[in-house]
Chain A
Amino acid sequence: GNSVTQMEGPVTLSEEAFLTINCTYTATGYPSLFWYVQYPGEGLQLLLKATKADDKGSNKGFEATYRKETTSFHLEKGSVQVSDSAVYFCALSDYGYQKVTFGTGTKLQVIP
């Protein structure tokens, strides 16, 4: 079956530091890949997505590239802010499987 593996958190960074959150996946088909963000007390919001190999999703300074050869979709940001503190979820959607598979989430804390 499909699965998503994320690096365990929490991740604590100083403001303006570089961020990488690793995500790898297992899928039998050709999935679409997503990063969702959950701010405290809220539901999940789509941060970015990529639908095919070598696509790069980007939003709000975050980027992730769909790497089929390494089955990865790592999230990066060049300079994090305190407002980026949240839980980040990697996910995949594979046509025919009728549901989205989520990773366990990585908590990011950015300190001033």
Chain B
Amino acid sequence: NAGVTQTPKFRVLKTGQSMTLLCAQDMNHEYMYWYRQDPGMGLRLIHYSVGEGTTAKGEVPDGYNVSRLKKQNFLLGLESAAPSQTSVYFCASSRDSSGNTIYFGEGSWLTVV
């Protein structure tokens, strides 16, 4: 029972490099989210999706792009990484927003040097 799976788990990037984080869920959930977690700031929503083919901006979208071409996958892209994007990234999914449980992946640790 995989739930929400994120890859890669760890990555070190040089400033200016690009990369994509992949999130996959096997629960047939409509909603998917990308959060970043920084010390003292809790979880901040980067982008989210309410269904296949849709994306929307969260609280801190700048410097990131996302795509939801398939219902089960939600990709987070960094086109030109910056040290300020050093963080732990969490993907999550839920059936909908009406009070149902949100399920998290195990996190992706990204360091930009």
Count A interface residues, CB 8 Å: 26
A43-B104, A43-B106, A45-B104 known; A102 and B43 CB under 8 Å? yes
B97 touches A95 (CB 8 A): yes
| In the bound complex, CA of A104 to CA of B104 (Å) | 16
Min Cβ gap B32→A in Å is 11
A34 touches B106 (CB 8 A): no
**B42: which of A51, A96, A104 is its contact (CB, 8 Å)?**
A104
Map CB proximity to A onto B81-96 as digits: 1 under 8 Å, 0 otherwise.
0000000001010100
B56 neighbours in A (Cβ, 8 Å): 98
A100 neighbours in B (Cβ, 8 Å): 33, 92, 94, 97, 102
Map CB proximity to B onto A16-60 as digits: 1 under 8 Å, 0 otherwise.
000000000000000110101000011111100101000000000
B99 touches A32 (CB 8 A): yes
B98 lies within 8 A of chain A by Cβ: yes
